[in-house]
Structure 1
Amino acid sequence: MAEQKIYELLVNEEDARACRDIPDSACTRVPKNFVLVLLSQLLLSLGDLLTSPKTVLTWLMNVVGAPAAMVAWLVPIRESGSMLPQLLIGAWVRQYAIRKTFWIAGSIVQGSCVLAMALAVNYWTGAAAGLAIIGLLMLFSLGRGLCSVAMKDVKGKTVPKGQRGQLTGIAGTASGVLTLLVSLWLLREEPDNLLVYVVLLVAAAMLWLSAAAIFSQVQEQPGETDGGANALQQAWQNLGLLQTDKQFRQFVICRGLLLGSALVSPFLVMLAQQQHGNGQTLAWFLICTSVASALSALFWGKLADRSSRQVMIIAAALALAGCAVLAVMQMVIGELPLYSYLLLFLLLSVGHAGVRVGRKTYLLDMASGNQRTDYVSVSNTVIGVLLLVVGGISSLLAWWSLLAVLWFFAASCLAGLLYAVKLPEA
C-alpha cells in the first residue's frame, strides 16, 4: 500500500517496527494513520504560516488602513483566544470516545473564518475591515483551541511513542519549504496590492478545509470517557493537577517562562520596520520563517523523540542568545542593517520552533489516556492567561523603551532555560 511505503520511507526501520504507548489493536493501522495525520498537520502548519499574525495579518491590516491599536491585538487574540477556553473544551471532549470529529470541526471553523476574512477585506476598509478581522480571529482561535486539544489526544492514540516528534518535525519542514516558495513569489509582487493578500487568505482557507477532509479518514481507537459528565466541575478538578502533579507543574512553569521565544519576535519586526520600512520587508521575514521551519523542524522532531527535555534546553538557549544579542546591539550600535534583523529573526524562529516541538512531545510522552487531554487543556488555559499578563507587561515596557522589552524577554528565556535543566526526562 502507498501509505505503508511512505511510512517506511519517513520512519526509520527500528521505530517502524515499534508500537509503543498505543493499543495493540491499533498497531496495524499505524502506517495509514501516520500518513493521514502527517498530511493534515502539514496543511495546517502551512495555513498557519500563510496567516501569521506577526507578519501577514499585520501587513494586511496596514494595507486596508485599520487603526494601529487594532494591530496590537492580533497576536494576543490568536494565541490566548485559542488557549483560554481549553480547560472547558478538554473536559467536554473527554466525554466522547472518538475525538477526531472535534479536530475536523475545528479545522472547518478555521478555514471558514479565514475565507470570511478574504471577503471582508475585499469589500471593507479602515476600522470596519479591522474589526471584521479581529472578530473573525476570535472565532478562528476557538476552532484552533478545539484542534489543539483533539490533535494531541488523537495523535497519542494513533501514532506510537518515538514517532510523534518525527511526525511534527516532518510537517514543519515540509510546510517551511512550501512557505519559502510562496515568499519568493511574494517578492515579485506588489506588497501593497490587496489582491495578493486575498489570494493568500483564500489559499489558506482551502488548506484547512482540505485538512478536515483528510483527517476524517483517520481510524481512531475509542478512548476513555470517564469523568466527563460535568464539564465545568471536571475543569475545576483538573486545575488541581498543578498542585498535586509536580512534574506537570514544573513543565507548565517552564513553558510559561519560555513564552519570550515567541513574543519577542513582533518587537524585532517593529524595530526593523521603523528603520527599514520598504515594501519587501514582509517577504524577507516570511522567507526567514520558512527557512527556520524547513531547516530546524525535522532536526528538532528527531531529537525530541530521544529527549524532548534536551530539545527545550537547546531551544531556550538559542532564544536567549537571540534576545540578548539583539538587546546588546541596540544598546551599542542602535540602527542595524536589515540583514542583522533577519539573521536574529531566523535565530529566534529556530529557537521558538524547538520550544514548540519540545514541549508538545514532552507533554505527549508524559501522559496517556484521559490524563493527556487534561494536561493539554490545563496547561494551555494557564498559558493563555499568562500570554495576556506577559503581553500587558511588555506593552507597558514598550511605552517606556523597546530595549527594556528585549531585556525582559531575555531574562524570561534565561529563567526558562534554567527551569528546563531541572525538568526530569519524560
Structure 2
Amino acid sequence: MSKQSTVEQVYEAINSGDDGRVCKDIPEQACDHQPKNVTTHIISLAATKVADGLIDPKLILSWLLSALGASTFLVGLLVPIREAGALLPQLFTAGALRRLPQRKWAWALGSLVQGLSVAGMVMSAVLLEGKQAGVAIVILLGILAVARSVCSVSYKDVLGKTVSKSMRGKVTGLAASVASGAVIVFGLVLASDYVERMTLVLIAMTLAAGLWIFASLTFSKLEEAEGATEGGGNPLQVAKQNLALLKDKQLLLFISVRALLIATALAPPFMVTLNGEGGVENLDSMLGGLGALVLASSLASFLSSYVWGWLADKSSRKVLILSSIVAMIALAATVLLAEYQLIRHSIVLPAVLFVLMIAYHGVRLGRSTHLVDMAEADNRAAYTALSNTIIGLILLTGVGFSAIAQVFGNVAVLAVMAVMCLLAGLLALGLKEVQE
C-alpha cells in the first residue's frame, strides 16, 4: 500500500460523517493538500503531546530535581517558568512571526529547540547534581518554554490556513487521544517497580527529545500556502496594536472565561496534597501517587479528547460551558469529600481527579478551537498572542493560591476554584456560536 493511500485512508476515517465542508475557511490551494496536511498535523501534534507528558514539570521534572538534590526553591520554579514562559513572550513574538509567509518553519524551529533543550536536561541530570543540576535544568526549561511560545502562536495560524474549519477540533482531539495512549503506558510502567525510577525517567526524557525533533522534521513537510506578512513591526509597537484588539467584546469575554478556567490547570497539586502524600519533598516516596496522577490525566485525555474535539467543531461555546460545569462539580465534590474525611480512601481522590482532568482537556480543546474559529486569517496570530500573554500574566498571580492554602488550607483553595469554574460557565453563555 502506498504512502498516499495510507494518508487518504486516515483522512477519510477522520472526515467520515462530515457534511462536505472540506474547504471551509481555508485558501483554495490548500484543498488539494487536505489529506496530507491533516495527517501531518496529527502525527506532529501527537509526537509533541507525548513528549509533553513524558517530561511533565508538575511531576516528572519535580521528582528529577528532588532526586538530584536540588533545592525546593528551584523545584518550585518549574511550573511557573513552564506555564508563564510559554505564554508571556507571545505578545511580542507574534509581530515578528507575521513576517514569515510560511509560519510552519517557526513551529518546526520551536519544536527542534524544545527537543534540544530536553536533551540538555538529560545531559545535566547525568553529569551534574545538586544546585548545579537544578539551575541548568531550570534554565533549559525556560528556553523550552520560550520555544513553546513560538510554536503556540504559529500553530493556530498554520492550522487555520491548512485544515478546514469543520475538522480542526477533530484533528487536535485525535492527536491528544493518540498521545495520551502512549503516556498511559508510561504511567503504568511508572506505577510499577519493573524499571528503576531514575533510569526510566531519563529514558522517557530522551525519548521526548527525539519526539520533538521528529515532529519538527515532519511538520516542515506540511503544504502551507504563503500568507500575509503585514503587521510584523517593532515588538513594542505590535504589542500596543495587539492590546487595541481588546475593543472586541467577544475577545475580551473569551479571555475572561479562559482566565477563570486556569483553575482546572492549577487545582491538581492542591487535590493531591489533600491525602497527605503531596509536597515536592515526598515525591520520591509517592510512587503510587505519581503514577496515579499520570494515569488519571492520560486516561482522561485518551477517553475524552476526541469527543471534546468533535463537539468543539459543532460548538466550542457549548464545550466551554460544559467543561466549566464538569470542573465545578469535580472541585465541589472534592471539597465536600475532604470536609467529611472521605478523600483519603484509595479510590476517591483518583476518581475526582480523573473527572477534573476530563474537564481540563475539554477546556483546552474548547478554547483552542473557539479562538481559531472566532478570529479571521489576518488577525488570528494576534488574537492568539494577546490571549496567551494576558493568561501568562494571570498565571504569575497563581502564587496567591499557595498563600491562601497556607492560611486557610487546600480545601479553601479548591472551593475558590470551584466558584471560578462556575463563573466561567456563566460568562461562556455570552460567547457567540463561532462555528455557525
Give the Cα separation in 2 of the matches to 1:100 and 1:234.
21
Residue 38 of structure 1: which of 39, 42, 45 is its match?
Answer: 42
- State the alpha-carbon separation in 1 of the partners of residues 310 and 366 from structure 2: 10
Contact 2:50 2:180 in 1 (8 A): yes
Aligned alpha-carbon RMSD (Å): 1.6
Aligned mates of 2:303, 2:342 — CA distance in 1: 30
Match of residue 94 from structure 1: 98
* Partner residue, 2:362: 354
1:269 aligns with 2:272: yes
The corresponding residue for 1:423 is 431
CA separation of 1:59/1:289 partners in 2, compared to 1, >3 Å: closer, same or farther?
same
Instruction: Write the letter of the residue equivalent to 2:117.
Output: C
On the 8 A contact 2:118/2:208 being kept in 1, the answer is: yes
Superposition deviation, residue 341 in structure 1: 1.1
Cα distance, 1:202–1:163 mapped onto 2, change above 3 Å:
same
Pick the aligned partner of 2:261 from 234, 246, 258: 258
Q: What displacement does 1:273 show? A: 5.1
Confirm or deny that 1:325 pairs with 2:339.
Answer: no
Alignment partners' CA distance in 1, 2:402 and 2:362: 26
CA distance in 2, matches of 1:292, 1:416: 21
Equivalent position of 1:113 in the other structure: 117
Return the letter of the residue paired with 1:269: V
Partner SS state of residue 54, structure 1? helix
- TM-score, length-scaled by structure 1: 0.96
From 392, 395, 409, the counterpart of 2:402: 395
Amino acid at match of 2:273: M
Distance 2:380 2:390 in 1: 16
After superposition, what is the alpha-carbon deviation per residue over 1:139-193, rounded to whole angstroms, capped at 9, x for unaligned? 1100100000111000100000010000011011111111111222223336873
Establish whether residue 208 from structure 1 lines up as the match of residue 209 from structure 2: no
Does structure 1 retain, via aligned residues, the 8 Å contact 2:173–2:309?
A: yes
Matched, 1:179 2:183: yes
The answer as to whether partners of 2:85 and 2:145 remain within 8 angstroms in 1 is yes
For the pair 1:315 / 2:319, whether they are aligned, the reply is no
Deviations 1:89-121 (A, max 9, x none): 111101121111100110011111111111111
1:215-235 superposed Cα distances (whole Å, 9 cap, x missing partner): 010010111111213332121
- Is the contact between residue 63 and residue 192 of structure 1 (CA under 8 Å) also seen in structure 2? no
Q: Distance in 2 between matches of 1:90 and 1:278?
A: 41
1:142 and 1:273, CA in 2 relative to 1: closer, same or farther beyond 3 A? Answer: farther
Cα separation, 1, equivalents of 2:343 and 2:352:
14
Q: Displacement, 1:280? A: 2.5
Which stretch of structure 1 is more off in the superposition, 354-363 or 3-12?
A: 3-12
From 65, 84, 87, the equivalent of 1:83 is 87
Residue 126 of structure 1: CA displacement?
A: 2.1
- Structure 2 residue 199 is the aligned partner of structure 1 residue 195: yes
Q: Which residue is 1:367 aligned to?
A: 375
**What amino acid sits opposite 2:240 in the alignment?**
W
Aligned ranges for residues 223-302 of structure 1 at < 5 Å?
223-242=227-246, 244-272=247-275, 274=277, 278-302=286-310
Deviates more, 1:12-21 or 1:244-253: 12-21
What code does the residue aligned with 1:115 have? A
> What is the SS of the residue equivalent to 1:95?
coil
What is the TM-score of this pair, normalised by structure 2?
Answer: 0.94
**In 1, Cα distance between equivalents of 2:276 and 2:178:** 29
> Structure 2: which 5+ runs fail to align?
none
Deviations 1:314-357 (A, max 9, x none): 11111111111111211221651232111111111100000000
Q: Do the aligned partners of 1:292 and 1:350 also contact (CA within 8 Å) in 2?
A: yes
Residues paired across the two proteins, number: 424
Q: Could you tell me how far 1:22 is from its partner in structure 2? A: 0.3
After superposing the two structures, state which structure 1 stretch, 192-201 or 363-372, moved more. 192-201
Deviation at 1:286? Answer: 1.1
User: SS at the partner of 1:368?
Assistant: coil
- How far apart in 1 are the matches of 2:302 and 2:343? 29
Whole-angstrom CA distance in 1 between matches of 2:16 and 2:373: 19
On the 8 A contact 1:293/1:349 being kept in 2, the answer is yes
Deviates more, 1:123-132 or 1:156-165: 123-132
Show structure 1 runs of 4+ deviating over 4 A.
Answer: none
Paired-residue identity, %? 37
8 Å CA contact retained: 2:301, 2:361: yes
